[in-house]
Structure 1
């Protein structure tokens, strides 16, 4: 689904040369190159990779070790951080390396595997946001049913990860390496898996629906019901006496804070990925748009979509003081370990001193050589 637009153009042209019985040849086709716009994309992706890797790993450790987060929310945030880490360590490096090499050098098996993992990570990230939205809806609309939240969330997470695997599995059969011998060009593409172009468009639109449309509709429905419930509670409480309303809230502050955090996380997903998906729809129905829109637009929108991976830890840290406290404690722990190590080294150097080995028997040359051999062998070991 997510073949980059400039790659799709080059693959389409290259495979046209490869299969002249189905498409007319393009005599003016030239192999693509590592353009200035692609260089910008690689640099921006590398910066996002560093930030997303550090922040999501910190979020994963904080949620795993922290005790202040509700027990039924911990699996949700762990899954969200895991999905973001999959996007970070699969999608971003694959995108950067593929832009630099332009063509595919990883072989057929790696082509299938990485395309599967890429779509699997994207589905998992979207579906876990759906699970979080459903959890917030149930928590607001049925606050007395909190005891079953833990088992319910586990079942929904299992379903989300399973669906992600199933929906991404066709990538293992659709994508393959295609070689154009006349220009010595190899690419990982889905060409040849569909007998008609409309079939490929239907396949892409199906994944667009499962990746974006269905999650967006479910999340919008959940938060619309939540807002309607809050509005009805306000109207209902207006008819009550002030004495009866005193000391009570429509929604507890902690639950409202979590609700706000999840709303912002969902909004960041929508804002970051909507422009790129709209551009993708335009390409699927009008491939000539590649010649109309500047190349920088395609690269910038994909980088902007990857920015969503960096937003989740920032949003979580903003709404969760325990995350900032865990980070501070981790920094103090690392600093204390460094201080302890330096103090130990200082004590050892003071104890041994410059003349501490004056009267020690010196080992023979043969023993010294024998002792050095394992170290030298380790230097040359693989």
Structure 2
């Protein structure tokens, strides 16, 4: 969530760093407009590279997460409470790619905002809402995996579609209500009016957040993070114990019921491992940004613009990573992609296709 959005774009370090790469003099975002922001363009080489890198991430986030959504929603075999949570998470990442990343690309490369004041605030709201929605989804997914691994046989009766729906509703409503209320009420600007005034210019999109709300933002990230780390630590210990039991059982003649428990345990552990990797990727992507935002707010926004841009784009790229993780670890997802891209999902009864290897 870009809580300080472009508050760093106009500091002295930003200007100096851009001039090192720039072959053109300093310009204005809007020529002949009083109060226009400075535009410090990159030279053509770095400019094209940045557009290619940011554009690739945007396309990957949109197309990859759209494939995840289509796979889970279309194929009945994938209709499960856990997968509904994954689909909703993919929806949040898809919306980041659709409503946030394209506009952030232009802002980051051109150092100007050309999309109007109304969408500036919406862009920041979307950014924060989808970020927190993702972390709440991942937190619920980690709890879901813990129940599935610790008690796989009773899991279907404990985690139902209704429970999954409530978790999804909570994740979306809390994140949207919080971010829109914060930014549209102006509570984020209380006590830092001088900073807000200094950042105001035509062609800028600076959303400054005071120390109190930066602290709350950090807690909303940090608390679910602690929950996920704690839960996955327990999952690791349980998986280790189960592996030892399976090894002992393999040395004996196991009953049919025991063999079934072994298959279920293996399946749930694999799902937990894959989603654990997705959680780790999210935390590694967003943690540097949140730490920097937290420290920066208490030190007077001293982070150089180029450092801020690197951190925020590492975080944005997380929205493109989950589909790659699923494609690498889930054979059913790879098969679903083949059916989608070849158009075979348009055939009659394609939703009943078997995606799992026998």
Range class of TM-score, shorter chain: 0.7 to 0.9
Show CA shifts across 1:233-290 (max 9, x none): 5677889883458745285222122111111100111112222223223322223633
Cα offsets for 1:138-179 (capped at 9, x unmatched)? 212232141242221111111111111222121122279x77
State the 1:88 CA deviation. Answer: 0.8
Counterparts of 1:87 and 1:60, CA distance in 2: 14
* SS at structure 1 position matched to 2:10: helix
Mapped partners of 2:272, 2:291: distance in 1: 28
5+ unaligned residues in a row in structure 2: which ranges?
13-35, 190-195, 348-358
- Indicate yes or no: 2:132 matched with 1:123: yes
User: Is the radius of gyration larger for structure 1 or structure 2?
Assistant: 1
Give 1:129 shift.
Answer: 0.7
Distance 1:335 1:122, change over 3 A: closer
Preserved CA contact (<8 Å) 1:137 1:225: yes
Q: 1:216 maps to which residue? A: 225
Q: 2:288 matched to 1:275? A: yes
Q: Could you tell which deviates more after superposition, 327-336 or 95-104? A: 327-336
The answer to whether residue 176 in structure 2 is matched with residue 165 in structure 1 is yes
Is the 2:42–2:109 contact (alpha carbons within 8 Å) kept by the matching residues of 1?
no
Specify which of 36, 39, 44 is matched with residue 42 of structure 2: 36
Change (3 A) 1:252 1:234: closer
Distance 2:70 2:275 in 1: 20
Q: CA RMSD in A?
A: 3.6
Partner of 1:133: helix, strand, or coil?
helix
Q: Does the C-alpha gap of structure 1 residues 32 and 312 become closer, same or farther in structure 2, counting only changes over 3 Å?
A: same
Change (3 A) 1:70 1:225: farther
The Cα shift of 1:72 comes to 1.8
2:333 aligned with 1:333, yes or no? no
CA contact (8 A) 2:7 2:207 kept: no
* 8 Å CA contact retained: 1:120, 1:165: yes
Instruction: Name the residue aligned to 1:77.
Output: 86
What is the alpha-carbon distance in structure 2 between the residues aligned to residue 288 and residue 113 of structure 1? 22
Change (3 A) 1:244 1:99: closer
Equivalenced residues, count: 309
Given the superposition, is the C-alpha separation of residues 288 and 214 from structure 1 closer, same or farther in structure 2, using an over 3 Å criterion? closer
1:147 counterpart residue number: 157
TM-score (norm 1): 0.69
What residue ranges of structure 1 are gaps of 5+ in the alignment?
13-29, 195-199, 338-382
In 2, Cα distance between equivalents of 1:10 and 1:270: 29
Deviations along 1:287-329, whole A, 9 cap, x unmatched?
A: 3633xx5x44332222222221111001111222121112212
Change over 3 Å in CA distance of 1:155–1:167 after alignment to 2: same
The answer to whether the Cα contact below 8 Å between 1:116 and 1:171 also exists between their aligned partners in 2 is yes
Match of 1:252 in 2: 265
Equivalent residue for 2:204? 187
Give the secondary structure class of the aligned counterpart of 1:264.
helix
Q: Any conservation in 2 of the 1:179–1:187 contact (CA below 8 Å)?
A: no
**Which residue in the other structure is 2:326 paired with?**
316
Give the Cα–Cα distance (whole angstroms) in 2 for the partners of residues 284 and 226 of structure 1.
36
Is 2:339–2:345's contact at 8 Å kept on the other side of the alignment? no
Q: Which has the higher contact order (CA 8 A, sep 6+)?
A: 2
